[in-house]
Amino acid sequence: MSVTMDTLVSLCKRRGFIFQSSEIYGGTGSCWDYGPLGVELKQNIKRLWWRDYIQRRPDMVGLDASILMHPTVWKASGHVDNFTDPMVDCLECRRRFRADKVDETPWVHYCAATKGNKFTIPAGEPCSHCGERRTLCPECGKGSLTPPRQFNLMFKTFMGPVEEDASLTYLRPETAQGIFVNFDNVAQSMRRKLPFGIGQIGKAFRNEITPGNFIFRTREFEQMEIEYFVNPRDTVEGKPADEYWHERWIADSLAWFQRYGLREENLRLREHEKDELAHYAKRTADIEYRFPIGWSELMGIANRTDFDLKQHAQFSGKALSYFDEERKEHVVPYVIEPSAGVDRALLAFLADAYQEEEVRGEKRVVLRFHPELAPVKVAILPLLKKRDDVVRTAHAIRDTLAKHWTVVYDDTAAIGRLYRRQDEVGTPYCVTVDVQTVGDTDKGESADGKVTIRDRDSMEQVRVPIDALPTVFLDLLSGGSWSAVASRFR
């Protein structure tokens, strides 16, 4: 069963993943705040991406460029002239629409060519009698629509105390440009040889005309971008280097999402048609995910050629090239750009992890997150909160494990309820502390020093000595299987 967006939105609010921004003031359109569990999940996505792509690869380095950049950057990159959507305005209700979206729904037309007869024209089609397209507002149905005008999606702002044209700049609409303008700094300071990549995670801003679908399309979002520089004169395995690396990055990116839990049947590749390619791209392939709203872009992998480096060289007057020692010549590298949205990745991981099942006649909602993604790794649950020694032991275990992982303590309900709560937020393991753990002197029962670990997915339980917990969780949370680890204690 696939989950609906409404179910995810409601779970996210109820369980502290994501809240509407400025909710007490009625909310801010398309802006969202990540709550205590959402921020953990988001950090985990970014941490895994950084570890896998920057830390572990010898051909990659990281960067954290500023959001506000020299305004000429956006002239050179083409964003001032090309990062636009054609818009039409309703002269009556003043609403604004993307020109290519106004006839996405059927419309009512009184056709002059047929003495004013009324027709319902199907979505996307002109009237078959007079050839007219929708001319009235799709919302209020009364106002005429203006001819299309280009609307730039970049947010404008001013640097310094005076709001004048000279101090106009933009919030970056992509993190990529921070990498291009630092190409030479990084290549020189880190003595890099081609091919090599620079990765960056950070916020981007776009004044989207039609934001929506929860965190899928927002005006403020985060990107994880790589610019991978290759020598266009090289060939690898019989292919031009840029085309070879483009294929490699497409395969790597697909594998990355699958490694952390997205199911193969929910992922697909879509090539951009020639007429939809961005102004800088030779080829772009999108990885699409089957979101609750249908198949939509999760990330894009573009071949940006030498467009950006050449543009910045031209506008800045600084050479942005690489000296090819073998050929004894300067060359402007080509760039392969795997670009993913953090928020969209989070939405995809959330949707894929969500499951409802029946357990002993009751509904169980469980987020089957990969353990490395799960916001909380271990929950410590005392079985008897009236017993001081049980509670003390549970807190002590929490303190020890919290040195390594995000761990919570909860004693606010009966054990069945506590397990369900942790299942619903995707906590892979729960530890319960009971009377056997600490012993019962009144009954002459000695402490066994063991606790019960419960596995979220199988709901199996195994009793483990307290001292063994750090090594057990190190194993389980770094890829060890539950059955292998549990069998050591049976």
Measured CA to CA, the distance from residue 270 to residue 284 in angstroms comes to 9
Measured CA to CA, the distance from residue 375 to residue 425 in angstroms comes to 8
Contact 220, 31 (CB under 8 A): yes
Rg (CA), the chain: 28
Q: Say which residues have a Cβ less than 8 Å from residue 352's Cβ, sequence separation at least 6.
A: 261, 262, 263, 266
Query: What backbone phi and psi angles, to 5 degrees, belong to 240?
Result: -55, 140
Is residue 208 close enough to count as binding ligand GAP by CB under 6 A? yes
3-state class (DSSP) for residue 145: strand
Q: Which residue has the tokens 């899928």?
A: 216
Closest CB to ligand GAP among residues 297, 475: 297
Measured CA to CA, the distance from residue 485 to residue 256 in angstroms comes to 25
Is residue 322 close enough to count as binding ligand GAP by CB under 6 A? no
Closest CB to ligand GAP among residues 214, 322: 214
The kind and range of the H/E element at 84 are strand 84-89
Is residue 225 close enough to count as binding ligand GAP by CB under 6 A? yes
Q: Which residue has the tokens 């404008």?
A: 156
The kind and range of the H/E element at 151 are strand 149-152
Contact 158, 168 (CB under 8 A): yes
Interacting span for ligand GAP (CB under 6 A) from 156-164, 324-332, 335-343, 462-470: 335-343
Give me 184's structure tokens.
């030479």
Is residue 339 close enough to count as binding ligand GAP by CB under 6 A? yes
Is residue 199 close enough to count as binding ligand GAP by CB under 6 A? no
In single-letter form, the type of residue at position 421 comes to R
Is residue 297 close enough to count as binding ligand GAP by CB under 6 A? yes
Measured CA to CA, the distance from residue 220 to residue 208 in angstroms comes to 9
Interacting span for ligand GAP (CB under 6 A) from 4-12, 124-132, 319-327, 340-348: 340-348
The string of DSSP letters for 371-413 reads TTT-S-SEEEEES-TT-HHHHHHHHHHHHHHTTTS-EEE--SS
Measured CA to CA, the distance from residue 464 to residue 134 in angstroms comes to 70
Is residue 344 close enough to count as binding ligand GAP by CB under 6 A? yes
Q: Which of 42, 109, 134, 206 binds ligand GAP (CB under 6 A)?
A: 206
In this structure, what is the dihedral angle of CA atoms 18, 1, 482, 484, given to the nearest 10 degrees?
A: -150
Is residue 343 close enough to count as binding ligand GAP by CB under 6 A? yes
Give min distance, CB of 43 to ligand GAP, in A. Answer: 17
Is residue 221 close enough to count as binding ligand GAP by CB under 6 A? yes
Interacting span for ligand GAP (CB under 6 A) from 65-73, 256-264, 296-304, 316-324: 296-304
How many chain residues interact with ligand GAP (CB under 6 A)? 19
Is residue 83 close enough to count as binding ligand GAP by CB under 6 A? no
Interacting span for ligand GAP (CB under 6 A) from 44-52, 125-133, 293-301, 433-441: 293-301
Give min distance, CB of 357 to ligand GAP, in A. Answer: 30
Q: Which of 79, 109, 134, 217 binds ligand GAP (CB under 6 A)?
A: 217
Give min distance, CB of 406 to ligand GAP, in A. Answer: 25
The contact mask relative to ligand GAP for 122-161 (x = CB under 6 A, - = no) is ----------------------------------------
**Cα angle vertex 481, ends 477, 487, to 5°?**
120
Is residue 176 close enough to count as binding ligand GAP by CB under 6 A? yes
Closest CB to ligand GAP among residues 42, 454: 42
Is residue 288 close enough to count as binding ligand GAP by CB under 6 A? no
Q: Which residue is nearest to ligand GAP (CB)?
A: 341
What residues make contact with ligand GAP under the rule CB under 6 A? 174, 176, 206, 208, 217-218, 221, 223, 225, 297-300, 337, 339-341, 343-344
